[in-house]
């Protein structure tokens, strides 16, 4: 028989047959568990000892003896909660029983954290002891993993610390074929990685990176306070001319992903790069700043994040569906861009379609972390009508705020726990239908994110003449989709739901979205820097995004 070692089988001991009356049951149980582990490669947990006793009809003493043999051979691991885990299939387990591949596995995990930008260039890694506790492996395994990364020049040992070296995409020594190079200038050397994680800029960064990798180019970070390192991992403004002379034709152009607030000397960067005869793309993520004289230069391209085109398209699309009144589905939990997007949408709507009205709920961000506050009660009660079909639901929600607050988990705002969402939806569906005696205390796993959205949705329901709801992003669209479905309003017939989407990740729900077209900006920016013929837009040097509608249902058919 065989057991799992890093996902591959290994022989099991055969000297397990004792001279007791239970020896046969022990041997049978060991063989059964080993076969189950070998056949089901996705199996990570065998359950508890009590469950195994019931399933295999053996005594607890026999089960414990069989499990001891498997545990001693490193096939399984007994956790403190009495769960029986399969070693090698869960990175939170102790990996001491695994082969030398454990160090390589940890090395790849660390490298992935470095590639993602979580651990920046020239930053110190956590101590070996902390990493050992995090991955639950011995310290010697961590040392072996770090030595692997040091040989690959991903990290280096310096002053009793492990420092992140040049990442694979920015190290000249990792490219023996001398690929062409593009600079990415930010406020600091990790700016590009941070922009790739933000919702508004992720699609631009992803599409630009995809073109870089597909065409065999290399990205190198640059920042105002950087010098050209020995391994070519970063370059500053002062070292830019020497850098260009050293690389020669390999240096193709510069993408400046910063604003005047980030880099006051931004104009000098433009002038220096153009003076070297290299094209420059300004990735303006706010779309509000202007630099005089630059847009006329043939080596300069301004990629401007202008949301107004997408907002106008959204209003025009809803108007063509026959809608004249829509709600903006945003609770303003974070403030900032959500509020700005809603207010701009409200201002733009009359110029696109005269008479079009947007209903925007009141801001909720001032309420802070507590749900049970006078301000919350006042906001919901202000729009409550005695004849409203949701009055009882609102009253019931307010009556149980104290109980809900004690039960909600204090960490995280994710609503990806489908069982929790389904339970809350079922409770509110009964409340919305008139049953005001629903025990909401049973929603013991409720999340604050979902509960904050409740007053918003109930407020929107007060406006029975709403023909559509517009969500500011995917997260709000998912909340609204579940709430609208729970209320029994058929999407696409009585109500349309539209969302704005930067294509950061595939939309799991059938919600029609307005794609900003920022990924097109990323691809165009790369090809401009590479020297390909590019349509520069109107006026020359200015390239706006080209939004479009992605129909996935949730709206009425076009007449």
SS3 state of residue 35: helix
Domain 172-304 is in which class?
Answer: alpha beta
- From 16, 23, 35, select the one nearest 59 (Cα to Cα): 23
Average pLDDT for 294-311: 77
pLDDT(391) > 50: no
Cα(first)–Cα(last) distance of the chain, in Å? Answer: 67
Beta bridge pairs of residue 284: 304
More confident residue, 124 or 366: 124
Q: What is the pLDDT of residues 495-546, one digit of tens each?
A: 788 888 755 455 556 788 888 877 778 888 888 888 775 555 444 556 667 7
Alpha carbons within 13 angstroms on the beta-carbon side of residue 77 total 20
163's enclosing H/E stretch is strand 161-164
Taking the C-alpha atoms of residue 91 and residue 106, their distance in angstroms, rounded to an integer, is 9
- What per-residue confidence (pLDDT) applies to 174? 39
Alpha helices, H only, 40-168: 49-56, 60-72, 101-115, 128-135, 139-151
Eight-class DSSP state of 340: H
Q: What is the pLDDT of residues 67-96, one digit of tens each?
A: 877 776 666 766 545 567 665 554 444 444
Q: Among 196-210, 246-260, 293-307, 421-435, whose mean pLDDT is lowest?
A: 421-435
- What per-residue confidence (pLDDT) applies to 331? 52
Contact 183/220 with Cβ under 8 angstroms? Answer: yes
Taking the C-alpha atoms of residue 284 and residue 258, their distance in angstroms, rounded to an integer, is 7
Q: How far is CA 446 from CA 72, 405, 414, in A?
A: 41, 9, 10
Give a three-class secondary structure readout of 100-112: CHHHHHHHHHHHH
pLDDT(390) > 80: no
Q: With respect to CATH, is domain 101-164 assigned 1.10.10.10?
A: yes
Domain residue ranges of the chain, discontinuous segments joined by +? 2-86, 101-164, 172-304, 309-515
Question: Is residue 296 very low, low, confident or very high in pLDDT (cuts 50, 70, 90)?
Answer: low
Q: Which residues contact 6 (CB under 8 A, 6 or more apart)?
A: 88, 98, 99, 101, 102, 105
| CATH code of domain 2-86 | 1.10.10.10
* Whether the domain at 2-86 and the domain at 172-304 fall into the same CATH topology: no
Eight-class DSSP state of 61: H
- What per-residue confidence (pLDDT) applies to 165? 64
pLDDT(316) > 80: yes
- From 174, 254, 169, select the one nearest 210 (Cα to Cα): 169
Taking the C-alpha atoms of residue 147 and residue 107, their distance in angstroms, rounded to an integer, is 9
pLDDT(56) > 80: yes
Q: pLDDT above 90 covers what percent of the chain?
A: 1
Task: Output Rg (C-alpha) for the chain, integer angstroms.
Answer: 30
- What per-residue confidence (pLDDT) applies to 487? 58
Average pLDDT for 303-316: 85
Mean pLDDT of the chain: 66
């Amino acid at each position: 028989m065989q057991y799992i070692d890093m996902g591959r089988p290994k022989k099991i001991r055969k000297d397990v047959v004792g001279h007791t009356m239970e020896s046969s049951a022990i041997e049978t149980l060991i063989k059964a568990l080993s076969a189950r582990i070998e056949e089901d490669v996705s199996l990570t947990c065998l359950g508890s000892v009590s469950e195994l006793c019931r399933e295999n009809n053996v005594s607890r003493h026999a089960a414990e003896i069989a499990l001891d043999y498997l545990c001693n051979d490193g096939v399984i691991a007994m956790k403190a909660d009495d769960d029986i885990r399969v070693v090698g299939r869960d990175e939170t387990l102790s990996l001491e029983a695994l082969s030398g591949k454990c160090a390589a596995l940890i090395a790849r995990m660390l490298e992935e954290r470095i590639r993602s930008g979580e651990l920046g260039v020239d930053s110190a890694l956590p101590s070996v002891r902390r990493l050992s506790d995090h991955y639950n492996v011995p310290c010697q395994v961590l040392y072996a993993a770090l030595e692997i990364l040091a040989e690959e020049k991903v990290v280096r040992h310096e002053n009793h610390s492990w420092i992140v070296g040049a990442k694979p995409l920015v190290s000249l020594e990792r490219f023996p074929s001398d690929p062409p190079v593009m600079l990415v200038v930010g406020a600091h050397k990790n700016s590009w990685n941070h922009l790739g994680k933000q919702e508004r800029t992720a699609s631009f960064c992803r599409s630009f990176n995809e073109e870089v990798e597909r065409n065999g180019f290399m990205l190198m970070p640059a920042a105002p306070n950087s010098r050209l390192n020995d391994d070519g991992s970063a370059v500053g403004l002062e070292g830019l001319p020497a850098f260009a002379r050293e690389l020669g034709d390999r240096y193709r152009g510069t993408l400046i992903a910063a604003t005047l607030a980030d880099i006051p000397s931004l104009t000098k960067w433009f002038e220096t790069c153009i003076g070297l005869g290299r094209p420059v793309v300004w990735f303006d993520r706010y779309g509000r700043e202007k630099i005089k004289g630059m847009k006329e230069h043939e080596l300069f391209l301004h990629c401007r994040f202008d949301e107004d085109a997408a907002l106008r398209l959204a209003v025009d699309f809803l108007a063509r569906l026959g809608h004249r009144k829509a709600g903006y589905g945003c609770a303003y939990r974070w403030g900032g861009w959500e509020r700005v997007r809603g207010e701009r949408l409200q201002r733009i709507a009359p110029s696109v379609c005269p008479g079009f009205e947007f209903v925007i709920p009141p801001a909720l961000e001032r309420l802070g972390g507590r749900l049970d506050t006078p301000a919350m009660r006042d906001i919901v009660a202000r729009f409550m009508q005695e004849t409203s079909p949701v009055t009882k639901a609102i009253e019931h929600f307010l009556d149980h705020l104290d109980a809900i607050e004690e039960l909600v988990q204090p960490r995280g705002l994710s609503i990806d726990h489908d069982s929790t969402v389904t339970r809350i939806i079922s409770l509110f569906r009964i409340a919305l239908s008139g049953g005001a005696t629903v025990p909401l205390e049973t929603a013991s796993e409720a999340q604050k994110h979902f509960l904050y959205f409740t007053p918003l949705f109930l407020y929107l329901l007060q406006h029975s003449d709403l023909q559509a709801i517009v969500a500011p992003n995917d997260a709000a669209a998912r909340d609204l989709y579940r709430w609208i479905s729970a209320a029994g309003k058929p999407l696409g017939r009585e109500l349309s739901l539209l969302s704005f989407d930067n294509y950061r990740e595939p939309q799991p729900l059938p919600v029609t979205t307005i794609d900003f077209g920022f990924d097109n900006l990323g691809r165009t920016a790369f090809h401009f820097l590479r020297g390909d013929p590019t349509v520069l837009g109107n006026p020359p040097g200015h390239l706006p995004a080209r939004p479009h509608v992605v129909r996935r249902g949730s709206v009425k058919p076009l007449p």
